[in-house]
Structure 1
Amino acid sequence: MEYGPMKVAGLGFKQDVTLASLREALAAAGGSDGLAAVATISDKADAEALKQLAREYGVPIRAVPADVLAGIDTPTQSRRITETFGTGSVAEAAALAAAGPRARLIATRVVSQDRTATAAIAEGDGP
């Protein structure tokens, strides 16, 4: 059976992020239409606000290991993020990694107004 491209939202966020901030960043990146999953770095995949967001949109959370993110080249480059994670944008790298090997970004990183959440959207053939 043929499936169309899979859309994944990559999310980067601070420890104290709220559901509202994640929602706002995702909306700014293009929203939840057609979303197959949300993705983030493994050690943040069980954050309560992220679990609430995934439940709200009825999508799974894809946890991406830090060493996988570290190898991904992203259009957006944050020096602090690069020094910490080895990639320019956790949101962009997580979206690309979770959307599959030939994924491409359809929305580069956007930041919530309170600066606690970032979101990017990638499209690919799936893992």
Structure 2
Amino acid sequence: MTAQGLRIAGFGFRSEATLESLAQAQDQLIDRYGAIDKLAAARSMLPLVEELGRLRNIEVIAVADAELPTVTTLTHSAQSLQARGTGSVAEAVALLAAGPGATLLGPRLMSADRQATIAVAEGNNQ
């Protein structure tokens, strides 16, 4: 755990996303913000993130899909709003998994192939 609090990376991605899409997005996030403590995903998107967690030996937290619209995000993607009720699945997942009072370290990042997004929130949950 970092001195500031637990850093949790949340994912959002299209159905076409691959494990490589998620891994590249995570590497980009770590390059920008440093180490992360856990990964998180909406329950409906969990299997691919769990696979990445197993490969990288990082615990994965599941977030209820129904909670996504309850979070205010920095990014306001029209596609994400229509599909999931939130401006950014990655940002919403990170904030929900990090717990009450969590803050985003910045807006979501997108994988090079544009199939996955990732955001990191800092909090003291889990």
**Is TM more than 0.5 here?**
yes
- Superposition CA RMSD, Å: 1.8
What's the % identity of the aligned pairs?
Answer: 36
Cα distance in 2 for residues equivalent to 1:33 and 1:56? 19
* Runs of 5+ consecutive residues of structure 1 not aligned to the other structure: none
Q: Structure 1 residues 33-42 or 105-114, which shifts more?
A: 33-42
Report the counterpart of residue 110 of structure 2 in structure 1.
Answer: 111
Q: Does 1:25 align with 2:25?
A: yes
Q: State the TM-score, normalizing by the size of structure 2.
A: 0.88
Runs of 4+ in 1 over 3 A off after TM superposition: 31-34
Structure 1 position 90, deviation (Å): 0.3
Q: State the TM-score, normalizing by the size of structure 1.
A: 0.87
Structure 1 position 35, deviation (Å): 2.1
Report the counterpart of residue 52 of structure 1 in structure 2.
Answer: 51
Contact 1:101-1:124 at 8 Å conserved across structures: yes
Paired residue type of 1:8: I
| Greater helix fraction, Structure 1 or Structure 2 | 2
Structure 1 position 61, deviation (Å): 1.5
Report the counterpart of residue 84 of structure 2 in structure 1.
Answer: 85
Report the counterpart of residue 35 of structure 1 in structure 2.
Answer: 36
Secondary structure class of the residue paired with 1:17: coil
Report the counterpart of residue 8 of structure 2 in structure 1.
Answer: 8
